[in-house]
Every structure is written in structure tokens, then in C-alpha cells.
């Protein structure tokens, strides 16, 4: 039987519960909002309809729409830098407190902050994979190729266009956009991220379960930061921790799907709460 988490707006409540414990962190889009990247479901977020895997592979029209929008979104997203929340988690890792980090984000900001032990659950937006030969290449290289094929496209469509956490920009007119094929085999390129409707690679999931499974009720805890846990992709790790009797602390503005599985939810910003954790030895 589960009970709803205790809710507190005080970051100090997390300090008290996590003191002396080894942590695995699970992060979501809410952690990156202070870097200027909007989230999917936080307070005030607009409804979004990300492209699904089945839609992307349906043919050239969907692929043209995705890459045209991503062309504009990537130009913005690549300029985002780590915020105090990312820096705090990297500092907690360096101090030996955070022993593993699972991120649902694709922005690569944990690595940019200096975090080493990162499992990119949903992949990375700065990489591209060919659906035919499976070669993985840099997104920055593809951006240069697409800019050559579509001169002036970013400048013509970037004004006041909103960008999603996956780099998708709300560009409405994409007719005529020229999509670059794989430079190696001429195949279809896809961002190296897990689309909705696509499965996370099994080995990656196994690594996440292993990290959570290494925690014990006596000296471990799962720290969730900036995730509503709406999708099972992240919620399953919270369920695993709860089943093992490992304390779960969620830092998120607004209710989450994991509230009934957690010991505490801190209803406050990730930057301030994680900064407080890093400032006081745990």
C-alpha cells in the first residue's frame, strides 16, 4: 500500500532526509528550464505534440517537417549552458555523494557541467544516427550541411518561435526544406534520441536498474529532480526504489505521477534546492 509523499516548499526538508546517504539522481526537463529550455508539463507549459517514431519513419514529408523545425530549434538549443542545478549535481558527484545519474533530458547539459557518470536514458540531441547504416555522427556537422542546403532558413523563421525540450521549434511552414541524407550511405538520418513510441535500448535500461539496484534502504536514496514522471520511462525506476525500500525524494514544481511512491516532494525550483544540497555536506 502506498501513501502520498509529504510535501514541503523548504529545500531543508530534503537535506534532512538525504543526509548521510549515497544518491542516484533521476533528472527531467524541469532541471533545464533555468538554462532557457522549456519543459513539457511544468506549471504554465503550453501543450506540445512531439513527433512520434512511427510518424517520423512514415516518409519524406514527416522527415522534412521534423528537420526543418529542428534546424531552427538546434540553433538556439546549442547555445544553452548548464545552470546552478546541473553544477550542483556535478559537485555532489565530485564529493562522492551522487554515485549515478539517469537523465531523461537530451540536451547534454550534465556533461557540460562536468558530470561524469551520466546515463542518457533518451539519448542525446547533439548526435545523429542513420536508420540504414546505423552510423552515429555529430549534429553540428549535419547543421552545417543543412544550412548550406537551406540558406537563410533559420534567420527567416526564428523570430518569436518557441522551442521544445527536444529542440523542436514551432515553425509552421516547412515546404521546400531540403533534408540532408547520410553522408556515408545516403540513408535517412534521425536525431540520436528516443522518440515517443520508440523503445529505450535494453542495455541502457539495464544500466539504470543496476544503478538504482545498488542502493540500499540503510544508506541509499533516489533523488528525482525536475520530472513529472508522467511517462513510464522514468517512473519505473522510482517504482523499483520504492519496492526495495529505498527512500525517494522528488524535487519538482507541481504534482508528479510518483508522489504516492515518494517519501518527500519538495515543491520548489531545482536550482535552489540542489544548490542547497551541494552547499551543505551530506
- Residue 40 to residues 30, 73, 227, 233: CA-CA distances in angstroms? 8, 15, 9, 15
Answer yes or no: is 228 a known binding residue. yes
Question: Is 1-37+82-122+200-282 CATH 3.40.50.1220?
Answer: yes
Q: What is the model's pLDDT at position 49? A: 66
pLDDT digits (tens, 9 = 90+) for 114-165: 999 999 999 999 999 999 999 999 999 999 999 999 998 777 655 445 555 4
Answer yes or no: is 31 a known binding residue. yes
Answer yes or no: is 28 a known binding residue. yes
For residue 265, pLDDT over 70 is answered with yes
Q: What is the model's pLDDT at position 1? A: 45
17 vs 280, which has greater pLDDT?
Answer: 17
pLDDT band at 169 (very low <50, low <70, confident <90, very high): very low
Q: What is the model's pLDDT at position 153? A: 79
Answer yes or no: is 226 a known binding residue. yes
State how far the Cα of 4 lies from the Cα of 6, in Å rounded to an integer.
7
Answer yes or no: is 39 a known binding residue. yes
Lowest mean pLDDT among 24-28, 161-165, 172-176, 234-238: 161-165
> How would you class 257 by CB atoms within 10 Å of its CB: exposed for 0-12, middle for 13-18, buried for 19 or more?
middle
Q: What is the mean predicted confidence (pLDDT) over 102-110?
A: 96
> For domain 45-79+123-193, which architecture applies?
2-Layer Sandwich (3.30)
Answer yes or no: is 252 a known binding residue. yes
**1-37+82-122+200-282 and 45-79+123-193 have identical folds:** no
For residue 272, pLDDT over 50 is answered with yes
Is 211 within 8 Å of 225 (Cβ atoms)?
A: no
Q: What is the model's pLDDT at position 71? A: 87
The domain locations on the chain are 1-37+82-122+200-282, 45-79+123-193
Strands (E), 160-247: 189-193, 220-225
122 in catalytic set: yes
Answer yes or no: is 130 a known binding residue. yes
What is the percent of the chain where pLDDT is above 70? Answer: 87
For residue 15, pLDDT over 70 is answered with yes
86, 122, 157, 192: the catalytic one is 122
Q: Return the exposure string of 34-67: e unless at least 16 CB atoms fall within 10 Å of the residue's CB, then b.
A: bbebbbbbbeebeeeeebeeebbeeeeeebbbbb
pLDDT digits (tens, 9 = 90+) for 21-80: 999 999 999 999 999 887 655 555 444 567 899 999 999 999 999 999 888 888 778 889
Answer yes or no: is 97 a known binding residue. no
pLDDT digits (tens, 9 = 90+) for 179-205: 999 999 999 999 999 998 899 999 999
Amino acid at each position: 500500500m502506498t501513501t502520498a509523499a509529504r510535501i514541503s516548499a523548504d529545500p531543508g526538508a530534503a537535506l534532512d532526509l538525504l543526509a548521510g546517504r549515497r544518491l542516484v539522481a533521476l533528472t527531467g526537463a524541469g532541471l533545464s528550464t533555468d538554462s532557457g529550455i522549456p519543459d513539457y508539463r511544468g506549471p504554465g507549459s503550453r501543450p506540445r505534440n512531439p513527433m512520434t517514431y512511427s510518424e517520423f519513419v512514415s516518409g519524406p514529408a514527416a522527415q522534412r517537417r521534423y528537420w526543418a523545425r529542428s534546424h531552427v530549434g538546434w540553433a538556439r538549443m546549442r547555445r544553452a549552458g548548464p545552470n546552478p542545478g546541473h553544477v550542483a549535481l556535478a559537485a555532489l558527484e565530485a564529493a562522492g555523494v551522487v554515485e549515478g545519474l539517469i537523465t531523461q533530458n537530451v540536451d547534454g547539459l550534465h556533461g557540460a557541467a562536468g558530470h561524469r557518470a551520466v546515463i542518457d536514458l533518451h539519448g542525446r540531441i547533439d548526435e545523429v544516427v542513420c536508420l540504414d547504416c546505423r552510423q552515429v555522427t555529430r549534429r553540428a556537422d549535419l547543421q552545417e550541411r543543412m544550412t548550406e542546403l537551406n540558406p537563410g532558413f533559420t534567420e527567416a523563421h526564428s523570430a518569436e518561435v518557441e522551442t521544445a525540450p527536444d529542440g523542436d521549434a514551432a515553425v509552421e511552414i516547412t515546404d521546400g526544406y531540403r533534408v540532408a541524407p547520410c553522408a556515408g550511405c545516403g540513408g535517412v538520418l534521425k536525431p540520436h534520441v528516443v522518440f515517443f513510441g520508440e523503445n529505450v535500448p535494453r542495455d541502457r535500461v539495464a544500466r539504470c536498474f543496476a544503478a538504482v539496484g545498488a542502493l540500499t534502504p540503510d544508506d541509499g536514496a533516489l533523488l528525482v529532480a525536475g520530472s513529472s514522471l508522467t511517462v513510464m520511462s522514468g517512473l519505473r525506476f522510482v517504482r523499483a526504489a520504492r519496492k526495495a525500500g529505498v527512500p525517494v525524494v522528488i524535487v519538482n514544481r507541481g504534482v508528479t505521477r510518483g508522489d504516492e511512491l515518494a517519501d518527500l516532494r519538495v515543491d520548489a525550483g531545482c536550482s535552489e534546492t540542489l544548490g542547497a544540497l551541494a552547499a551543505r555536506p551530506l
